[in-house]
């Protein structure tokens, strides 16, 4: 199946700084790339996604960039706030399977 790698596994930033999380995938047929945020003990929530026909998508402080040639996509969070602290997962669905990255625990220090 798809191999999705995510880096870094943990990330600490000062409030107001930017955070970047990167994922690489192996299946060139993947064409949809969502990012999820999961707070402790809760279900993952979709925060942003991108299709392969665009290179970047932005929604307020959150953006996702995609490089299909290199098979990687990144989540960018600007002006981080303490409530951004959570675990973030990327995913790269392929066929009828849905695989998540290993997760990044983001801590925003007030």
Partner 1 sequence: GAVVSQHPSWVICKSGTSVKIECRSLDFQATTMFWYRQFPKQSLMLMATSNEGSKATYEQGVEKDKFLINHASLTLSTLTVTSAHPEDSSFYICSARATTEVVWTDTQYFGPGTRLTVL
| Cβ closest to partner 1, residue 16 vs residue 51 | 51
Cβ-based burial of 29 (10 A; exposed 0-12, middle 13-18, buried ≥19): exposed
Torsion over CA of 49, 87, 38 and 62, rounded to 10 degrees? -40
Q: Are strands 86-90 and 32-38 parallel, antiparallel or unpaired?
A: antiparallel
Token pair, residue 99, equals 């695989």
Least distance CB 5 / partner 1 (angstroms) = 11
User: For partner 1, which residue of 37, 64, 73, 93 counts as binding (CB under 8 A)?
Assistant: 93
User: For partner 1, which residue of 31, 37, 53, 76 counts as binding (CB under 8 A)?
Assistant: 31
Least distance CB 78 / partner 1 (angstroms) = 22
Task: Pick out residues in 49-88 that bind partner 1 (CB under 8 A).
Answer: 49, 87
Q: Which 8-state DSSP code applies to residue 83?
A: G
Choices 13-21, 35-43, 57-65, 67-75; region in contact with partner 1 by CB under 8 A: 35-43
Angle at alpha carbon of residue 13, lines to 42 and 88, rounded to 5°: 30
- Catalog residues that contact partner 1 under the rule CB under 8 A: 1, 6, 31-32, 34, 41-46, 49, 87, 89, 91, 93, 96-103, 105
């Amino acid at each position: 199946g798809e191999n999705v790698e995510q880096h870094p596994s943990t990330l600490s930033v000062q409030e107001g700084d930017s955070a970047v999380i990167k994922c690489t995938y192996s299946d060139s047929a993947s064409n949809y790339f969502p990012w999820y945020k999961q707070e402790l003990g809760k279900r993952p929530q979709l925060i942003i996604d991108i299709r392969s026909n665009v290179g970047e998508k932005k929604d307020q402080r959150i953006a996702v960039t995609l490089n299909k040639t290199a098979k990687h996509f990144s989540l960018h969070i600007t002006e981080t706030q303490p409530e951004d602290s959570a675990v973030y997962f990327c995913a790269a669905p392929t066929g009828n399977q849905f695989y998540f990255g290993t997760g990044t625990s983001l801590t925003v220090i007030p």
